[in-house]
Structure 1
């Protein structure tokens, strides 16, 4: 046991774990409490200093920001004044007069039509995106067109068209405007004739006639006397041919009568 005061002990358990006999404050507790108060006070002071440092840093940052804004405003003001003076000088040299009222009306219209301007810019952006999307497609179409033209040239399409133009030139120079009018009036009849000629039976008949004509040697045709001709007419082929010619002429006469009746 350790004595703190002369004549006895406190009689309580202190922070040292000792039990004193006298109910009074010991010297050790007093010293310990004073030391703890000083430590707490120092910690609070340190905490206050730390917070003050943070506040000072924030104040300095705001001051720097405000100073930067003021400097920027000053610079922009100077630049704006210089630009305005330069613009006024250039307009004065060019002899251009600006109506302040017209400028004010223009600014009011711009303010009133902000939504319209935004829509216009959005449309321009959409058009730009569309052009970006369509450009590769158009590029590919151009390449395909070039390849196709190259293929046509190799096959001779352009040479054929070039020579065909001579045909049209000959037609234009040979026929007059009146001939073209007559062609227009009779184009239906011409097309009907072409239609009938292109029927399978007519094509076969024409082809057969051409084959027979080609098989005949014109320069070496055999001469027939009247007696020999009369004898040849008694053959089956000549009788059939004569019958065909008579029937053909009769039908032509009938069709001619029908056309004359319809025209009247």
Structure 2
């Protein structure tokens, strides 16, 4: 019985020691999540999830087979569709944002031009 009380006291001491650490980690996590929320990261992820769901619903397993031969003129005609234009705009906006980020120093050191 005394051993049980000693173990209980040890657990209590452990909890008292760990609580300040977990509180600091929890506070730091909340601050980072708040920062990401203000930047719009979560909104972007939610929209990306919706776009992925729509893309999956649009295709059946048969649609994922090898496409027929497509001529250059047909491809150009497809580029004129509003859905394709919107998708390309979003894609190029993302690429532009990624390209405007500062380059990695290790890439500069290897002589790779951005």
Match of 1:165 in 2: 49
Query: How has the CA–CA distance of structure 1 residues 163 and 133 changed in structure 2, closer, same or farther, with 3 Å as cutoff?
Result: same
Residues of 1 paired with 2:17 and 2:60: CA distance?
A: 53
Aligned pairs for 1:152-191 (under 5 A) are: 152-177=36-61
Greater RCO (Cα-Cα under 8 Å, separation 6 or more)? 2
Match of 1:141 in 2: 25
Query: How has the CA–CA distance of structure 1 residues 172 and 128 changed in structure 2, closer, same or farther, with 3 Å as cutoff?
Result: same
Match of 1:131 in 2: 15
Query: How has the CA–CA distance of structure 1 residues 181 and 132 changed in structure 2, closer, same or farther, with 3 Å as cutoff?
Result: farther
Query: Is 1:120 matched up with 2:4?
Result: yes
Q: How much is the aligned-residue C-alpha RMSD, in angstroms?
A: 2.3
DSSP-derived class of the 1:169 partner = helix
Residues of 2 paired with 1:133 and 1:177: CA distance?
A: 55
Aligned pairs for 1:100-115 (under 5 A) are: none
DSSP-derived class of the 2:20 partner = helix
Query: How has the CA–CA distance of structure 1 residues 169 and 126 changed in structure 2, closer, same or farther, with 3 Å as cutoff?
Result: same
Indicate the structure (1 or 2) with the bigger Cα radius of gyration: 1
Q: Normalising by structure 1, what TM-score?
A: 0.23
Deviations along 1:215-255, one digit per CA (max 9) or x if unpaired, are xxxxxxxxxxxxxxxxxxxxxxxxxxxxxxxxxxxxxxxxx
Match of 1:53 in 2: none
Query: How has the CA–CA distance of structure 1 residues 178 and 118 changed in structure 2, closer, same or farther, with 3 Å as cutoff?
Result: farther
Residues of 1 paired with 2:7 and 2:65: CA distance?
A: 54
C-alpha deviation, 1:134, in angstroms: 0.5
Gaps of 5+ in 2: 67-114
DSSP-derived class of the 1:124 partner = helix
